[in-house]
Amino acid sequence: MKFGFLPIYLRDMRRFFRFKHQLLSSFLQPILWLAFFGMAMAGNFDRILSSNSVIPGVLEVSYLTFMCAGIIGATILFTNMYGGFSLMFDKNWGILREIMASPLPRRDLIIGIASAAITKSWIQSAIILIFGIILGVTFFIGMSPLRTFISVIGFFLFVAAFATAFLCISLTLALRMDSPEGFQGISTLLTMPLFFLSNSLYPLEGLPPLMGTIALVNPLTHLITGIRYCTIGEHFSSIGMEVIYSSTEVLFSFLYLVIFSIVMFVITLKTVEKVEVS
Amino acid sequence: MPQDKSVILKVEHLSHSYGEVHAVRDISFSVKKGDIFSFLGPNGAGKSTAINVLITLLPLQKGEVVVAGYNLRTEREQVRRSIGIVFQEITLDRDMTVSETLEFHGDIYGLDRNLCRTRTQELLELVKLEDKVSAYIKELSGGMKRRLEIARGLMTRPKLLFLDEPTIGLDPQTRRKTWEYLKSVNAEGTSIFLTTHYMDEADELSDQIAIIDNGKIITSGTPDSLKNSLGEDIIYIETSDNLAAEKILLTIPGVKKVQSSESRIVLLSGTDGTHLLPRIIETLTGHEISVQAVNLKKPNMDDVFIHYTGRELRE
Ligand SMILES: Nc1ncnc2c1ncn2[C@@H]1O[C@H](COP(=O)(O)OP(=O)(O)OP(=O)(O)O)[C@@H](O)[C@H]1O
Ligand SMILES: [Mg+2]
């Protein structure tokens, strides 16, 4: 059974498309963020900084463009952090018992859920990206079609690594906890600081030193770095601050996410192997 | 352990504890190929714990078990492939349809898709759910869900089907129907291990019954042998002096066992009770003990249970 994870993957995807309200809100939420918060903030920043914000010779992007990458990152974080919720449901009231008593390897269970999570994250991020561009986000400016294509692939790879890591964290939580309330509480507690201690809404350069240092180990920062590098470029400025990403820096971010996701995957696998559903 | 081809399940010295709680204590038994074997016991007896160890959901802590020819300790994957399971609690996804439920099950067992489809059809016919193929689970009644779970347990044509309290919470009519499905499944060659706390269920279905209480097997045998071990008939007598009557009764030929309390005497008769009863009354009257009430009945599983555990089945 080479593709043993496939039934798990297909079931998850079917559920994703079956619950229309959930599906709609998972797209609408980030879009509303972008539309309201993004547009409002962008308007304000642009007014405050109108005169001296432009650095000559550097690609200048609007705050909306800058922030769109952050909203994509945050959305992927939120979605996957809560992604284990259905496993908790399956564990307490559903078919995890059936799965655990079957010959399906535990590894395939995790791979199935994770690959569905990656697919969902891709769909979500693509939709925000397209909607952002409609709203006036200037992604892929000055890139050749080939470069754009490669950038999109890179973008998806970053999203995949990050989604896997946080989905696995969420699965581990779901397997160890018994109450949905507890699960939700912990997830919220984890996501809030991750969101604000990152470069999602502002460049790291503007953060107080301690916050800046914490943000550097925050995986969300590395995801958003990757997204900005792929969608905007290696050198640009926004709201009066200059951003330069070297390719080693971006490669480091990617490896950071890949290693992080592998570690989380292994921890999740160990947790699944120990869990008793009876 | 030497392998016996006619045995589908062999359990030796199985024990299982949750920390300090000793749920299963040193039980041994075996199930013959083609048989229906029941664990009969009250709530908390350790039935689910035992079954969950046997189906690999709980680790095998102590004991040796061979399921369908595979060692439960070392060949867990093969064991999983050889068995079908119906859990005590409903284990279905409310938001899947009936056919999706069965196909998903086939998929995680690596069943060929076409085979999966034909079996889905066959099994839904067997459990009379063929008109519900595309209904969602949440639209099914409790009895339908149970039947679907039985069908699911049979998708992979298991050699041995485990059922944990298969008819719990079902109305009498549906219970009867479910028994019929189980019998026809068994007739087609699937051995069955089930747990129940219903006497009538164990009696009706089983080739062999083990009575389990406090994690131990108290006695086992065929339903008839268990009932016969209590004698032909049970006679309840109320007299003016139960204690004195007990001694006298024991001297009457055909009386197997006498248990007296202040309110009544329970007598197990080794011969036909209808003929024994007049003699009993005659003898007691001869000893100037007046008989105030008598009742006679054939022993049923309830009596068996009370006899062996010394108490009524807690429900
Ligand atoms: N997960 C668990 N952790 C701790 N103790 C448990 C656990 N599951 C069962 N027990 C205990 O083990 C004993 C046997 O329980 P078990 O569920 O096996 O009984 P049962 O015969 O299936 O009962 P029922 O008819 O109510 O289903 C009980 O004392 C129960 O409290
Ligand atoms: Mg039970």
Condensed to tens digits (0 to 9), the pLDDT of residues B103-145 reads: 999 999 999 999 999 999 989 988 889 999 999 999 999 889 9
N residues, chain B: 315
Same domain, B133 and B250: no
N residues, chain A: 278
Same domain, B141 and B268: no
Domain count, chain A: 1
Mean pLDDT lowest among A20-24, B37-41, B49-53, B120-124: A20-24
CATH number of the domain within which B264 lies: 3.30.70.100
CATH number of the domain within which B29 lies: 3.40.50.300
Instruction: Please tell me the predicted confidence (pLDDT) of residue A271.
Output: 95
Same domain, B175 and B279: no
Asked if A97's CB is within 8 angstroms of B57's CB, the reply is yes
Cβ < 6 A, ligand 1 pocket:
B 18, 21, 23, 41, 43-49, 88, 197
Using a CB cutoff of 5 Å, list residues around ligand 2, an ion.
B 47-48, 88
Residue B312, pLDDT above cutoff 60: no
- What is the ipTM, given to two decimal places? 0.88
Cβ-Cβ contacts under 8 Å, B57 against chain A: 97, 100-101, 276-278
Q: Per-residue pLDDT averaged across B193-213, rounded?
A: 93
Same domain, B213 and B237: no
Alpha carbon distance A100, A119 (integer Å): 24
> Does residue A65 sit within a domain?
yes
Q: Which residue range(s) make up the domain with A210?
A: 6-274
Q: Which residue CA neighbors atom 3 of ligand 1 most closely?
A: B18
> Does residue A1 sit within a domain?
no
Q: What are phi and psi of A138, to 5 degrees?
A: -105, 80
Condensed to tens digits (0 to 9), the pLDDT of residues B2-35 reads: 567 799 999 999 999 999 999 999 999 999 999 9
Residue A57 gets which letter from DSSP?
Answer: T
Residues of chain A with pLDDT under 50: 1
Same domain, B14 and B48: yes
Q: Which residue range(s) make up the domain with B212?
A: 7-226
pTM: 0.86
> Does residue A80 sit within a domain?
yes
Instruction: Please tell me the predicted confidence (pLDDT) of residue A83.
Output: 92
Closest by Cβ to A103, choosing from B81, B91, B96? B81
Ligand 1 atom closest to the CA of B48, numbered from 1 = 22
> Does residue A229 sit within a domain?
yes
Backbone CA torsion sign across A178, A184, A189, A194: positive
> Does residue B314 sit within a domain?
no
Instruction: Tell whether B105 is within 8 A of chain A (Cβ).
Output: yes
> Does residue A59 sit within a domain?
yes
B216 near B27, Cβ under 8 Å? yes
